[in-house]
């Protein structure tokens, strides 16, 4: 009986060891994958409230964004400081943010006519 117990124990130990070393990364369904950068590139509408060239920021009043940010007014860094020279307070724009810094930097900008 001790031999059967040892054999059973070794079989289970080997099975669990093999299971622990199996690569499960390919088992995730496509729906479980995190959002891609492309999903953050969706443009949002905003109104320019303030431009601060010394800080390199623009304050925008915007609606809900694709990255999950709710409607609000807040200051964003800009990818290209030259944009600050072209923007005007009260101007309507469309913009996209950088997912690598949690959407705190405007990386794409379009002027609305």
* Mean pLDDT, the chain cut into blocks of 10 residues (113 residues total): 56 52 48 47 91 97 89 96 96 93 91 89
> For the chain, which domains are there?
41-111 (2.40.50.320)
- CA quadruple 103, 56, 107, 110: dihedral sign: positive
**pTM metric for this prediction:** 0.64
The alpha carbon of residue 53 and the mean position of all alpha carbons in its chain are separated, in whole angstroms, by: 26
């Amino acid at each position: 009986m001790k031999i059967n117990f040892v054999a059973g124990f070794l079989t289970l130990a080997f099975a669990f060891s093999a299971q622990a070393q199996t690569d499960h990364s390919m088992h995730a369904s496509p729906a479980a994958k995190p959002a891609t950068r492309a999903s953050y590139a969706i443009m949002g509408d905003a109104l320019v409230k303030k431009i601060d060239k010394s800080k390199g920021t623009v304050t925008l009043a915007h609606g809900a964004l694709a990255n999950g940010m709710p409607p609000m007014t807040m200051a964003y860094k800009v990818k290209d400081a030259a944009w600050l020279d072209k923007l005007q307070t009260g101007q309507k724009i469309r913009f996209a943010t950088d997912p690598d810094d949690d959407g705190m930097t405007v990386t794409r900008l379009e002027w609305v006519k």
